[in-house]
Structure 1
Amino acid sequence: MADILVTTTEKIPGQEYTVIGEVFGLTTQSKNVVRNIGAGLKNIVGGEIKDYTAMLNEARDISVDRLRQNAQEMGADAVVMMRFDSGSIGSDMQSVAAYGTAVKFK
């Protein structure tokens, strides 16, 4: 899967390609109750909540891996115009979506 190039740009220098279609990679993550309590306490004094930052980094990595897998299943060589979207589900879950356009090199 690492062979699938993922880029946020529309054009890949030196490559011509045809569009295959849209691809997605989705994940929803949550922290355990103990870490949620710690995050709530940190919310009182302010500052970065490192457990949530780590959770979002992990969610981002998983969503890109799944995006690559989806592209590979479609026979793509690369994904262009990759973007992220995220949102909260309840008070302790975060959903992350990576999406883009799968392309095949000519």
Structure 2
Amino acid sequence: MEKLLVTTTENIPGKNYEVIGEVFGLTTQSKNVFKNIGAGLKNVIGGEIKAYTELLTESRDTAVDRLRDNATAMGADAVVMMRYDSDSISQDMETVAAYGTAVKFVD
């Protein structure tokens, strides 16, 4: 099955569509204690904290997958104007929301 199109633009070239409504994908994730210890040590010496980069990447991907599921359940053909929002709940937990507008293609 082909993934539902998700774009950050307002228009999809060559497509006319009608708006169905808002769609969201949410997730809150954390890393395990061993990766948190490694991240703490990296914080002392500096540099990229790869465990947290992975955390944000996984969170973003999960949020977009859930956004696609939400849009598919609404009968959408695509999502336009997709955006992200994120927030730290604690030092090792991150919440990511992907949101946009579900649309249905018309002739």
TM-score of Structure 1 vs Structure 2, range by shorter chain: over 0.9
Give the percent of matched residue pairs that are identical in Structure 1 and Structure 2: 74
Instruction: With the length of structure 1 as denominator, give the TM-score of the two structures.
Output: 0.96
Aligned CA RMSD, in angstroms, stands at: 1.0
Q: How many residues align?
A: 106
What is the alpha-carbon distance in structure 1 between the residues aligned to residue 72 and residue 28 of structure 2? 22
Contact 1:71 1:79 (8 Å CA) reproduced:
yes
Q: Secondary structure at the match of 1:48?
A: coil
Instruction: With the length of structure 2 as denominator, give the TM-score of the two structures.
Output: 0.95
Q: Residue 3 of structure 1: CA displacement?
A: 3.4
Q: Which residue of structure 1 aligns with residue 59 of structure 2?
A: 59
Is the counterpart of residue 91 in structure 1 residue 84 in structure 2?
no
Q: Secondary structure at the match of 2:47?
A: coil
Q: What are the ranges of 5 or more consecutive residues in structure 2 without an aligned counterpart?
A: none
Pair 25,61 (structure 1): closer, same or farther in 2 beyond 3 Å: same
Q: Which residue of structure 2 aligns with residue 80 of structure 1?
A: 80
Q: Residue 2 of structure 1: CA displacement?
A: 3.9
Q: Which residue of structure 2 aligns with residue 16 of structure 1?
A: 16
Q: What are the ranges of 5 or more consecutive residues in structure 1 without an aligned counterpart?
A: none
Q: Residue 91 of structure 1: CA displacement?
A: 1.3
What is the alpha-carbon distance in structure 1 between the residues aligned to residue 39 and residue 89 of structure 2? 16
Q: Which residue of structure 1 aligns with residue 41 of structure 2?
A: 41
Q: Residue 35 of structure 1: CA displacement?
A: 1.1
